[in-house]
Structure 1
Amino acid sequence: MMQYGHIGYTGKAMKIDIYKSAKSGSKYLSVPSGTEIESLALPSDIDSDLLALSPFKTELELDASKPLIALDQADVESQISKNGYAIHGAEITINVYSGTT
Structure 2
Amino acid sequence: MLYLKNLYYHPAASTTPILNNINMELAPQQMGLIIGRSGSGKTTLLEILAGLAQCSKGEIYWREQKLTSEHLQQLGGLVFQFPERHFCG
TM score, norm. by length of structure 2 = 0.28
